[in-house]
């Protein structure tokens, strides 16, 4: 069966520090992968999606970037975090009409 792993679960980082969040999928090949951000009490904002290795599409201009170095690995990064980068970050992969989400990373920038 397919599973999606996302880590870390929580993260507290100072303003101006770098960020790296990792997501891996098991049990499938060439998945469509997505990064979403959710502000407290709000909906999910699509940040990036990828249809294959090295293929990244950005939905929202921001302080973040994404990379897909391997087929089942999707990384969200920032060189310098801003206070506004705080939120709940969710990785997802999609099969057919269903998206499966990782357990998320709660990022607090202080």
Positions that interact with another protein (CB under 8 A): 32, 34, 36, 41-46, 49-51, 57, 59, 90, 94, 97-104, 106
Q: What is the DSSP string of 22-34?
A: EEEEES-SS-EEE
Quick one: 7 or 100, whose CB is closer to another protein?
100
Quick one: 17 or 30, whose CB is closer to another protein?
30
Tokens 């929580």, located at residue = 10
Q: Using CB atoms within 10 Å of the CB of residue 80, give its burial: 0 to 12 exposed, 13 to 18 middle, 19+ buried.
A: exposed
Quick one: 14 or 29, whose CB is closer to another protein?
29
């Amino acid at each position: 069966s397919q599973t999606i792993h996302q880590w870390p679960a929580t993260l507290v980082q100072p303003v101006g520090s770098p960020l790296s969040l990792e997501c891996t999928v098991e049990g499938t090949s060439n998945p469509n992968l997505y990064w979403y951000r959710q502000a407290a009490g709000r909906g999910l904002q699509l940040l990036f999606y990828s249809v294959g290795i090295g293929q990244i599409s950005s939905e929202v201009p921001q302080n973040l970037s994404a990379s897909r170095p391997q087929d089942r690995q999707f990384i969200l990064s920032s060189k310098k975090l801003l206070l506004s980068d705080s939120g709940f970050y969710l990785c997802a992969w999609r099969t057919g009409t269903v998206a499966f989400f990782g357990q998320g990373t709660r990022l607090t920038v202080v």
